[in-house]
Amino acid sequence: MEFLKKLCTAIAPSGNESSVHDIIKNEIRAYVDEITTDALGNLIAHKKGAGKKVMLAAHADEIGIIVTYIEKSGLIRFHNIGGVRPLYALSQRVKFLNGIAGVVFYDMAKDIEKISFDDMYIDIGAKSDEEAEKLVNIGDVAGFVGEFFERGDAVVSKALDDRVGCYILIKALKRAQNTDNDVYAVFTSQEELGLRGAATGAYSINPDIALAIDVTDTGDMPGTAPMAVTLGGGAAIKIKDSRSISSGYVVNLLKRLAKDNNLPYQLEVLTRGGTDAGAIHMSRGGVKTATLSVPTRYIHSPCEMVSKTDIETCITLTQKFIEERF
């Protein structure tokens, strides 16, 4: 879990994935033939083989904020990067890439239920714009702070979306050394802004088959939409979300691999949201693609929660997928 903690703790809002990539490069160097970075910021690890081209994608970026304006008072105005909810962001701590920390608050004359980012600000403790501008500039980005902890089977942290996917892909890649497949593990950029890295990554690689690994909602909390996915209920094999219908071929393969290896799985239909599969499956003439999802509570909050047994199940299933003879 120390390695997952390291991945989660890195600050890498969309477009600024390099700190996560550095951690990943060090970890997988010995297990792949080539590691490259493309113009959009994808980290592409290639393990060469004579077999089919298999692309696996987990996004390295996380949601965050970007500075839009600095007030005379030294308070910092910002906007969201990706799916940040104003009420989730409120009274949270953020950390900029240079380590400067701040707190998010709001114009208290406004109705708290209806606040938007325009009503909110970040206070870094600066007394003037002059002082603030020495530390933070327009366009600087920050991530939310959320302490990593474990209790029983549960793991809680910020950015488990999608560092847990990166973690699963890294572990599976290390274990799947017996394969003829031509394997591309892609730690994609800018997923949270609309699957941008996955689009260029898939175009360059032109895979025969692809698997995205990402988090998904669960239906087991008060007030959640009816959904057949529970925390700790096993790897979730996505059938559909807003951005893709999974390839029936890949879904059936994942089901068979789960059954053959006694891995618990659940079928997922997510009524909103999408993963890198949304971009990959529509690349060029189309790519047979599915998503393997990690059941996750409180997605896009600084306290996302996943299950260790689900993680382990997803690692084994991904390993078997990489080793499959297509």
Task: List residues with catalytic annotation.
Answer: 191
Q: Could you tell me which residues come within 8 angstroms of residue 209 by beta carbon, excluding any fewer than 6 positions away?
A: 52, 53, 54, 55, 250, 287, 288, 289, 326
Instruction: Give residues 156-185 in contact with Co ion (rule: CB under 5 A).
Output: 161
CB 93 within 8 A of CB 144: yes
Which listed residue (17, 27, 61, 162) binds Zn ion by CB under 5 A? 162
Interface segment toward Zn ion; rule CB under 5 A; list 1-9, 95-103, 153-161, 199-207: 153-161
Interface size with Zn ion, residues (CB under 5 A): 3
C-beta of 182 vs 214, nearer to Zn ion = 214
CB-nearer residue toward Co ion: 161 or 241? 161
Picked from Zn ion, Co ion, none, the partner binding residue 304 (CB below 5 to 8 A depending on kind) is none
In sequence order, what are the residues at sequence separation of 6 or more whose Cβ sits closer than 8 angstroms to the Cβ of residue 181?
49, 51, 52, 53, 54, 322, 323, 324, 325, 326
Q: Give the long-range contacts of residues 257-260, CB within 8 A, separation 24 or more.
A: 257/317, 257/320, 257/321, 257/324, 258/234, 258/317, 260/320
User: Could you tell me the CA-to-CA distances from 65 to 49, 144, 252, 320 in Å, in that order?
Assistant: 40, 8, 39, 37
214 binds Zn ion (CB under 5 A): yes
If the CB atoms of residues 162 and 310 are measured against Zn ion, the closer one turns out to be 162
Does 268 help bind Zn ion (rule: CB under 5 A)?
Answer: no
Q: Which does 214 bind (CB under 5 to 8 A by kind): Co ion, Zn ion, none?
A: Zn ion
**Residue with Cβ nearer Co ion (161 or 323):** 161
Residues that bind Zn ion (CB under 5 A): 161-162, 214
Interacting residues with Co ion (CB under 5 A): 161
